[in-house]
């Protein structure tokens, strides 16, 4: 049984030093009990107390890693039902299906799409992470050949899919060093698949007929010493699968029910044949609450929205995306190019830099650290005002790059122009457009 807040409190140092980010040990204990804090935040817990608190401090949903090295993906580790309560931790892995009944050309085509379908957005690389190789032939040789083709042509994390332990064992010979997810242990093969998972130290997915059976199977696996588990409740109707996700997440978080405290795997392509519906179902599971989503194929028009949705939902709502402060050179500027200044809220930066880039006017963009606030908010909060912008411009080094002394400020910060003329003697302050969309027209008429 997990410890209560009071039980945890009794094991803490009770000095109320506040170094853990809350003012008292009691508040920290309550957060720990609710899964909203990590024990490592308190530097003064004794080793003895640490051992006793291990259970209480473990995330209610165990994080599970599939793969190794740079391309390994961690799923699970979630601590809240709703993003606004804190944040969602580990985005669900998106997996591409490859069957061992596909010919080489089809497999290569899919792997090529897997590689190509990557997108840069707000400074992040959005891409899928996993390839699920499924045995449909029931032939160990064909399965091994498909797994081998994937390992040679892709750095993706791998899911090995078969209900037959001998076929899974054959696949593992090809890729055990990549620590694939073994899918699946069932009521019929549990012991054999558990042995494979132990032998190769790989995570294992459990497939059950329903949530009750999942509880039974995960209990047996954990008793056998296997803890890296992924859950498939077996439901293949949208409604039931959705309900299962909610039941699993809430049981793990609200009731601290360990047998369901693992990430889940879902298969939208087994719920419909319609490609549009597959994407819609996948989007539902991005939000609630899949750990891995297996898609029958990847196409840009369905994958890209899923990647963007995933990025948005798994962005920390308490921490705005920021761009590094500095001078950004766009379209190869020279000493006569215009100089613009803006804030370091990523969305602001990408909108402004995108407009400058698209109009092809060589320019310098000064990005000032405003703690991730947009222009209007930063200005209203006193973080994008003349007495801060002035020193930033002076220290930025822009005077070594542009010989004119003209600074274009955002229209929303027009009120700062007078103050900036005082802060930056010898500079002419120009008020630019309020809206990023008007930047191209403004820059095209700009003269040094």
By CB under 6 A, tell whether 51 contacts ligand SF4. Answer: no
Q: State which residue, 7 or 357, has the beta carbon closest to ligand SF4.
A: 7
Q: How far is the CB of 15 from ligand SF4 (least distance, A)?
A: 5
Tokens encoding 434: 């309020």
Q: How far is the CB of 43 from ligand SF4 (least distance, A)?
A: 6
Query: Residue 178: which of 265, 68, 103, 100 has the closest Cα?
Result: 68
Q: How far is the CB of 24 from ligand SF4 (least distance, A)?
A: 6
Would you give the distance in Å from CA 124 to the centre of its chain? 10
Q: How far is the CB of 17 from ligand SF4 (least distance, A)?
A: 4
Q: How far is the CB of 22 from ligand SF4 (least distance, A)?
A: 7
DSSP state of 117: -
Q: State which residue, 15 or 118, has the beta carbon closest to ligand SF4.
A: 15
Q: To which residue do tokens 């930066």 refer?
A: 349
Q: How far is the CB of 12 from ligand SF4 (least distance, A)?
A: 5
Q: State which residue, 41 or 308, has the beta carbon closest to ligand SF4.
A: 41
Q: How far is the CB of 347 from ligand SF4 (least distance, A)?
A: 35
Q: State which residue, 38 or 270, has the beta carbon closest to ligand SF4.
A: 38
Query: Residue 137: which of 177, 170, 181 has the closest Cα?
Result: 170
Report in angstroms the alpha-carbon separations of 43 from 27, 38, 74, 128: 16, 11, 26, 37
**φ/ψ of residue 328, rounded to 5:** -110, 125
Q: State which residue, 13 or 354, has the beta carbon closest to ligand SF4.
A: 13
| Number of residues this chain uses to bind ligand SF4 (CB under 6 A) | 13
Instruction: Please provide the size of the chain in residues.
Output: 448
Q: State which residue, 2 or 440, has the beta carbon closest to ligand SF4.
A: 2
Q: State which residue, 15 or 312, has the beta carbon closest to ligand SF4.
A: 15
Instruction: Give the separation between CA 207 and CA 22, rounded to whole angstroms.
Output: 41
Q: State which residue, 23 or 326, has the beta carbon closest to ligand SF4.
A: 23
Tokens encoding 232: 């498939």
Tokens encoding 269: 């392509």
Q: How far is the CB of 5 from ligand SF4 (least distance, A)?
A: 12
Which of the residues 293 through 352 are near ligand SF4 (CB under 6 A)? none
DSSP state of 4: P
Q: State which residue, 17 or 68, has the beta carbon closest to ligand SF4.
A: 17
Site string for ligand SF4, 7-46 (x = CB under 6 A): -----xx-xxxxxx---xx--x-------------x-x--
Q: Would residue 229 be called left, alpha or beta, if left means φ above 0 and alpha means ψ between -120 and 50 degrees?
A: beta
Q: How far is the CB of 39 from ligand SF4 (least distance, A)?
A: 9
Q: State which residue, 4 or 210, has the beta carbon closest to ligand SF4.
A: 4
- Nearest 5°: the CA angle 347, 351, 355 is 170
Q: How far is the CB of 258 from ligand SF4 (least distance, A)?
A: 25
Instruction: Give the separation between CA 358 and CA 355, rounded to whole angstroms.
Output: 5
Instruction: Give the separation between CA 132 and CA 232, rounded to whole angstroms.
Output: 14
Which of the residues 231 through 270 are near ligand SF4 (CB under 6 A)? none
- Contact residues for ligand SF4, defined by CB under 6 A: 12-13, 15-20, 24-25, 28, 42, 44
């Amino acid at each position: 049984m997990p410890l209560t807040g009071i039980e945890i409190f009794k094991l803490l140092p009770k000095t109320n030093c506040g170094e853990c980010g809350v003012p008292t040990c009691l508040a920290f204990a309550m957060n720990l009990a609710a899964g909203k804090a990590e024990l490592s935040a308190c530097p003064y817990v004794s080793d003895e107390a640490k051992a006793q608190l291990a259970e209480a401090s473990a995330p209610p949903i165990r994080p599970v890693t599939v793969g190794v090295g740079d391309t390994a993906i961690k799923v699970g580790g979630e601590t809240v039902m709703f993003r606004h309560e804190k944040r969602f931790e580990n985005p669900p892995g998106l997996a591409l299906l490859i069957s061992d009944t596909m010919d080489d050309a089809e497999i290569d085509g899919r792997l090529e799409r897997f590689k190509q379908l990557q997108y840069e957005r707000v400074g992040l690389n959005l891409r899928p992470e996993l390839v699920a190789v499924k045995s449909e032939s029931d032939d160990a040789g064909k399965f091994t050949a498909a797994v081998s083709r994937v390992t040679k042509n892709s750095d993706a994390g791998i899911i090995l899919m078969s209900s037959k332990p001998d076929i899974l064992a054959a696949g593992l010979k090809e890729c055990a060093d990549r620590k694939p997810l073994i899918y699946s242990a069932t009521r019929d093969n549990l012991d054999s698949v558990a042995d494979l998972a132990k032998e190769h130290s790989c995570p294992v997915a459990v497939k059950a007929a329903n949530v009750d059976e999942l509880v039974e199977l995960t209990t047996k696996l954990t008793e056998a010493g296997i803890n890296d588990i992924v859950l498939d409740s077996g439901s293949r109707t949208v409604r039931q699968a959705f309900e299962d996700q909610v039941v699993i997440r809430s049981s793990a978080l609200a009731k601290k029910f360990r047998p369901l405290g693992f990430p889940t795997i879902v298969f939208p392509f087994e719920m419909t044949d319609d490609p549009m519906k597959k994407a819609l179902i996948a989007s539902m599971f991005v939000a609630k609450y899949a750990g891995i989503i297996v898609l029958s194929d990847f196409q840009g028009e369905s994958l890209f929205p899923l990647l963007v949705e995933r990025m948005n939902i798994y962005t920390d709502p308490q921490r705005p995306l920021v761009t590094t402060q500095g001078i950004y050179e766009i379209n190869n500027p020279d000493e006569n190019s215009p100089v613009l200044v803006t804030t370091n809220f990523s969305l602001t930066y990408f909108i402004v830099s995108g407009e400058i880039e698209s109009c092809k006017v060589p320019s310098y963009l000064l990005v000032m650290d405003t703690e991730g606030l947009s222009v209007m908010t930063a200005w209203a909060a006193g973080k994008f005002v003349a007495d801060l912008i002035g020193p930033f411009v002076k220290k930025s080094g822009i005077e070594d790059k542009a010989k004119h002394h003209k600074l274009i400020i955002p229209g929303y910060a027009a009120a700062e122009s007078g103050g900036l003329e005082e802060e930056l003697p010898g500079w002419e302050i120009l008020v630019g457009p309020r809206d990023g969309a008007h930047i191209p027209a403004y820059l095209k008429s700009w003269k040094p």
